[in-house]
Amino acid sequence: MASTVTVSTITTLTSVTGITSMAALGLGAGISIFAVLLLIGMLTTKELAEASDGSRQRLISRCLNISIVPLVMSFAVIVALKVFEILG
């Protein structure tokens, strides 16, 4: 009976850990996709603002650098993690 309880407990813990890992992976992937899309949008806006002649557009372009730099860093981390995941 003790071995049955132990096997049942281990099976339950394994399945709960697997479900938790999958949920965490899904959340991480969602955040990664959001960060990359946000970076693409901000880079596009910055390029369009730099192409304009107005002083407000130049100000917007300079202000976007504040948020683009951390997103580029997070993009580099995301790419590095994916490469390490693929290489194993």
All structural domains of the chain with their residue ranges: 27-87
- pLDDT at site 32: 83
| pLDDT, mean of residues 61-84 | 90
Query: What separation in angstroms does the CA of 14 have from each of 27, 28, 31, 58?
Result: 20, 21, 26, 55
- Per the model's pLDDT, the better-predicted residue between 27 and 37 turns out to be 37
pLDDT in tens, 31-43: 888 888 998 999 9
- pLDDT at site 10: 47
- Per the model's pLDDT, the better-predicted residue between 72 and 18 turns out to be 72
pTM for the model stands at 0.63
Written as six digits, the tokens of 21 are 């890992």
- pLDDT at site 69: 92
Written as six digits, the tokens of 15 are 């399945």
pLDDT at 74 over 90: no
